[in-house]
């Protein structure tokens, strides 16, 4: 079960159309189902935003974010430009960020939404197997032989 939304978030979302508020909360729930240990960071500017990271540093280490607009919600991927996008569904032309626009529950329930989320989570946290593989490839001794030294004759 996903933890309930923060009261501050609910207060920020209260100014939106109920359909959009429910949609933002549904997207949040989907993110937290895929990443239950993610830390949320809530902000309000031109849109209500929820950023997700595993470190509490959403700008540096965030893997995705939700931006709530007047009639839709964007699910953004902080390193989305690096995600495989074989169907060309990710929107955005910036250096890093890409997003999916979610206008209704049908958009959210497409299987590709969770696939992109899983890929973004994997980018943010290398799976334990990768760490083990890298450690196994790093020898504890010098892999390059020492340079031979010549003794000088006096």
Element (H, E) at 76: strand 73-77
User: Tell me, what's the pLDDT at 150?
Assistant: 45
In a domain, 31, yes or no: yes
Q: How many domains are there within the chain?
A: 1
3-class DSSP assignment, residue 34 = helix
101 in any annotated domain: yes
Q: Is residue 1 part of a domain?
A: no
Query: In a 3-state reduction of DSSP, which class is residue 22?
Result: helix
Render each residue's pLDDT in the chain as its tens digit; 154 residues. Answer: 889 999 999 999 999 999 999 999 999 999 999 999 999 999 999 999 999 999 888 888 899 999 999 999 999 999 999 999 988 999 999 999 999 999 999 999 999 999 999 999 999 875 444 444 444 444 443 333 344 444 444 4
* pLDDT value of position 99: 97
In a domain, 152, yes or no: no
DSSP string, 78-97: TTGGGS--TT---B--SSS-
Residue 139, in any domain of the structure? no
Confidence (pLDDT) at 28: 98
Phi, psi angles (nearest 5°) of residue 82: -95, -10
103's tokens: 């206008």
72: containing domain: 7-125
Q: Which residue from 31, 84, 39, 77 is spatially nearest to 57, judged by alpha carbons?
A: 39
Give the bridge partners for 117, in sequence order: none
pLDDT score at 91: 97
What per-residue confidence (pLDDT) applies to 60?
A: 86
User: Measuring CA to CA, which residue among 63, 132, 72, 134 is closest to residue 103?
Assistant: 72
150 lies in a domain?
A: no
Token digits of residue 7: 């009261």
Q: Is residue 78 part of a domain?
A: yes
- Residue 28 has φ and ψ, to the nearest 5°, of -55, -45
pLDDT at 126: 53
Burial 39-51 (b: 16+ CB within 10 A, else e): ebbbeeeebbbbb
Structure tokens that stand for 63 in this block: 């893997």
CA distance 89 to 12: 29
């Amino acid at each position: 079960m996903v933890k309930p939304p923060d009261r501050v978030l609910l207060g920020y979302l209260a100014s939106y159309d109920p359909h959009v508020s429910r949609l933002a909360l549904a997207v949040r729930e989907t993110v937290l189902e895929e990443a239950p240990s993610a830390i949320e960071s809530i902000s309000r500017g031109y849109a209500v935003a929820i950023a997700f990271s595993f470190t509490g540093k959403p700008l540096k280490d965030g893997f995705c974010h939700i931006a709530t607009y007047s009639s839709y919600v964007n699910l953004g991927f902080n390193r989305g430009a690096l995600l495989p996008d074989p169907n060309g569904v990710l929107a955005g032309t910036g250096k890093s960020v890409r997003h999916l626009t979610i206008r209704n529950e049908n958009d959210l329930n497409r299987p590709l939404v969770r696939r992109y989320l899983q890929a973004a989570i994997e980018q943010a946290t290398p799976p334990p197997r990768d760490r083990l593989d890298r450690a196994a490839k790093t020898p504890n001794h010098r892999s390059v032989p020492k340079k031979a030294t010549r003794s000088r004759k006096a």
